[in-house]
């Protein structure tokens, strides 16, 4: 019985991984570059370079044309949903000085900088950094 449960769980995990790959390929096949970029941004990943996207698209279909500006627009919109005030605070709580894909928020300053600072100050107080 336990062996059957483990087998079902493993198969489910494998199928879920395949569906993720499939959705990316489906978006390419549908030439939905905006959504492809949005997904990449909302997960906090770096944008795919244009040449890499062209190469990947050719693997899906020879006649697919890449709309890289639409991809970048979607990517930026995705980053807006990832790089939230809460995310900035989390970066501070983790003691991270670099904001990664959210670095553009540093230039905006204001609340983003304030939330990061609050998280960082908490990190410093819990980590013991700066204590004498």
Tokens 């909302």 -> residue: 42
The pLDDT > 90 percentage for the chain reads 64
Count other C-beta atoms under 10 Å from residue 122's C-beta.
Answer: 14
pLDDT band at 127 (very low <50, low <70, confident <90, very high): low
DSSP 22-76: HHHHHHHHTT-HHHHHHHHHHTTPPPPPHHHHHHHHHHH-TT----HHHHHHHHH
pLDDT band at 8 (very low <50, low <70, confident <90, very high): very low
Return mean pLDDT, the chain. 84
pLDDT band at 106 (very low <50, low <70, confident <90, very high): confident
pLDDT on residue 41: 96
**What's the predicted TM-score (pTM) here?**
0.73
Question: Does position 58 have pLDDT exceeding 80, yes or no?
Answer: yes
15-53 confidence digits (pLDDT tens): 444 444 578 889 898 889 999 999 999 999 999 999 999
Question: Does position 110 have pLDDT exceeding 60, yes or no?
Answer: yes
pLDDT on residue 2: 62
Contact 102, 79 (CB under 8 A): yes
């Amino acid at each position: 019985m336990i062996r059957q449960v483990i087998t079902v769980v493993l198969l489910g995990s494998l199928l879920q991984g395949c569906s993720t790959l499939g959705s990316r390929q489906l978006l390419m096949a549908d030439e939905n570059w905006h959504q492809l970029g949005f997904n990449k941004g909302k997960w906090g990943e770096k944008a795919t370079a244009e040449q890499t996207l062209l190469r990947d698209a050719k693997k899906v279909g020879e006649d697919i044309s890449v709309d890289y500006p639409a991809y970048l627009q979607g990517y930026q919109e995705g980053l807006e949903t990832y790089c939230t005030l809460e995310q900035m605070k989390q970066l501070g709580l983790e003691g991270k000085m670099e904001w990664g894909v959210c670095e553009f928020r540093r230039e905006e300053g204001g609340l983003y900088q304030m939330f990061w600072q609050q998280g960082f100050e908490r990190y410093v107080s819990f980590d013991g950094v700066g204590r004498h």
